[in-house]
Structure formats: C-alpha cells, structure tokens
Structure 1
C-alpha cells in the first residue's frame, strides 16, 4: 500500500469513496438526502481542485486502486483539523486509515495537536480514533441541512 498526496486525476475516486463510505456509515443515522446534499457540496467538482491545492489531501493506493483518503487542514504549524478520513468498507482492516493519519502527522513535524469531529452514533469511527489515542473533548448538537447531529470533538496530543 502506498500513501501519497492527491492529484487532480484522483478527484473522481475521492468523490466515490466519500459517497460509498458515508452511505455505509451513516445510513440509518443521517437521511440519505441530507448525506447527498452535504457530499455534493463538500466534494463538488468545483471545490475539489482547491482542496487539493490548499489543504493536505492524501490517498491510500492498494493494487493501483485508491481505497481511502484523509484531508488535513493545518491551522498553524502545531495544530491540524482532520476534516476527513475515509476508507472503502471492503478495504477496512488493512491499516490504510492508520497510514493516512500518520502521513498527516509526518508532513508537519512541528504538529502537536490534531482535532477531529465524529458523529456520536459512528461507533466504528469513534473506536478508530480512541485506539489511536484521541480523547473526547466535548459533545454538542449541530444541524446539517435540517438534520440534528450529536457531534463529538476529539483531540490527539502528539509528543514534543
């Protein structure tokens, strides 16, 4: 498995992974029309080139197929927001998620804190982050296109 920075040619694969993983994870928690509205905006053809240019977007490639991606937004040299980390359901359990997380950490050696937000009902996602040392900071309610979410904000403190 190779982890590398995303390029514009990866956009359609990233979009497909976002849709497949969201539907697999959130069906039954978030109505499909709300998911599709969010995904259509966040991963639009118009937005994706800018994400690749202005953020750190990594892809995991296994047997020449992109199987996952992670998107880091560095607030400053010591803090990052992990805006997305998605691995195709069929490819989970192969350490792609861990390797994508590590790529974001390694890109900024000065990094000391990574923040992520996870829907409370996303037990698999929460367990993934907890297993890698993320700690719960807070829970709060927010709205996504009229649907109420219970969001957990978590933080990974990295050693100096």
Structure 2
C-alpha cells in the first residue's frame, strides 16, 4: 500500500528509541508479549472530551488470529477512563485490519485521502462506541 522506501523512512523516524520513549511517557502505550518476546503494541491518545484515538496498532503476522490482538485492544480500552468513543484511521486497502475492527464493533464514519510523505493514501475513519453518550 505504501512504497517500501517511504515505509523505511517512516519506520526509522517514528520508531527510533527516542520517539518510542516519548510515546511511552506522553500517552497510553501498551505492548503484547508472548513467551518473553514482544509481538505487538497499541498506542492511544489521551481521552479528550470523551474521545480517544488509536494511533497505532500492530501485531506480528505469525501471531494474528490467536486472540492476542483482541486482548491488547480490550486492555487499552479498559485503561481509557472516561472515553465514550474510540476513533481509528485505517488504510482503505487494509482489508484484514478493517475486518478486525468491524468484528470488534467499529463502524465506518467516512473515507478520506491523506498525503503520507508525498504518497496519497485512501483511508477509512472508524469509530467504536464505548459508552452511551
């Protein structure tokens, strides 16, 4: 979906040790481990006006489908005190991701285009209602 050179540049910048430490210290960030090995993570925004956003959610491909992603998502949601909704933006072509979020109760709000380092991405914004408003 994203050309490899753009992915590599993004990963080098966004997931450097310093950037990860900033995320750990500034917002809800949870990891999943299996047999002592890091296999995934979820990065949320702080709750603001009853809303939080799931900025990033990744699992190693070989552990997908084992319930670890569901447990990680549920743990993060439980930690978002006062959140009424959770928003996520997913690349439109990420059918596996969209299917996962649909299965967890997320609904599509809208579709939009986003420019990512000069590359246009088609995205889907989804919402999960956590509490009655």
Give the shorter-chain TM-score range. Answer: over 0.9
Runs of 4+ residues over 6 Å off in structure 1: none
1:33 aligns with 2:8: no
Deviation of the 1:75 alpha carbon: 3.8
1:53 aligns with 2:25: yes
TM-score relative to the length of structure 1? 0.78
CA root-mean-square deviation: 1.2
In the alignment, the residues of structure 2 paired with residue 140 and residue 151 of structure 1 have an alpha-carbon distance, to the nearest angstrom, of 5
Q: What is the aligned partner in structure 1 of residue 95 from structure 2?
A: 123
1:108 aligns with 2:108: no
1:3-14 map, 5 Å: none
1:142 aligns with 2:114: yes
Deviation of the 1:108 alpha carbon: 2.5
| Aligned residue pairs, count | 132
Gaps of 5+ in 1: 1-28
Q: Is the 8 A contact 2:47 2:80 kept in 1?
A: no
Gaps of 5+ in 2: none
TM-score relative to the length of structure 2? 0.93
In the alignment, the residues of structure 2 paired with residue 60 and residue 46 of structure 1 have an alpha-carbon distance, to the nearest angstrom, of 20
1:11-90 map, 5 Å: 29-76=1-48, 78-90=50-62
